[in-house]
Amino acid sequence: MVSGQANLISGVHCYNKATSFGGTGIYLKLPQLTQTRIVNSYLDYTGIVAEDPVQLIVSNNFFLGDAFITLKSIKGVANGVNIVDNMFSGSGKGVDIVQLDGQFGNVDQVVIDRNNVDGMNVKATIARVAVQGNGSSWTADFNRILLFPNLIKHVQYTLRTGGDLFPVHALRNVSDNRVTIVSNLASPTSVYVMVDQGFGS
């Protein structure tokens, strides 16, 4: 358990009671004062728990055996969190690589992206989806990927249509981690959408 801030944890091999049996490799009991970097370490069947993480970096680590990262809500704050460039290896049981324990109402500057995953479910705060169809309305559903429920702060999209059509189109709805794009003409169309949950204010 880590209870003081301004930490650098590097090159550590955590082998403890397995996460699947309730064990924890690194517990950051520093709500809103995390200021911790966990890098280049081996989480061997055991994961990380961070309470109300503020200024936390988890990068270039290897998580084996369905080990995952839990963001635990005390007052619902997650700010300045980077969980990037890690490797996760699991057993194909549908375990999410990052999980929430409780609700978070204050989320800002949170980047969970570029993690590679085998046998587990990707979770991220940045996601991309392509939607194709012959119509005038397209909905991209990000619930399978996005970590925080009903939270999209930033959207970018590209609409590509065939033939000589030049439709007028717009983003019409963002709710429940779904994005809906509508055009004035029905046509065979591909829509590419990127969303961000932790875009800095």
How far apart, in whole angstroms, are the C-alpha atoms of residue 16 and residue 190?
Answer: 48
Q: What is the mean pLDDT of residues 156-179?
A: 93
Residue type present at position 146: L
Confidence band of 22 (pLDDT split at 50, 70, 90): confident
> Mean of the per-residue pLDDT values for the chain?
95
Nearest to 117 by CA among 56, 49, 63, 58: 63
pLDDT in tens, 129-144: 999 999 999 999 999 9
Q: What is the mean pLDDT of residues 25-29?
A: 96
How far apart, in whole angstroms, are the C-alpha atoms of residue 117 and residue 136?
Answer: 35
Residues linked to residue 28 through DSSP beta bridges, in sequence order: 2, 50
How far apart, in whole angstroms, are the C-alpha atoms of residue 131 and residue 154?
Answer: 18
CA atoms within 13 A on the CB side of 145: 20
Confidence band of 31 (pLDDT split at 50, 70, 90): very high
Domain positions in the chain: 7-118, 126-196
pLDDT in tens, 85-111: 999 999 999 999 999 999 999 999 999
| Gyration radius (Cα) of the chain, Å | 19
Is it the case that residue 127 has pLDDT exceeding 70? yes
pLDDT of residue 164: 83
Q: What is the mean pLDDT of residues 135-161?
A: 96
pLDDT of residue 96: 98
pLDDT of residue 200: 60
Whole-number percent of the chain with pLDDT over 70: 99
Q: Is 94 exposed, middle or buried (0-12, 13-18, 19+ CB in 10 A)?
A: exposed
Is it the case that residue 78 has pLDDT exceeding 60? yes
Q: How far is CA 119 from CA 70, 92, 95, 109, in A?
A: 18, 4, 8, 28
pLDDT of residue 65: 96
Is it the case that residue 29 has pLDDT exceeding 80? yes
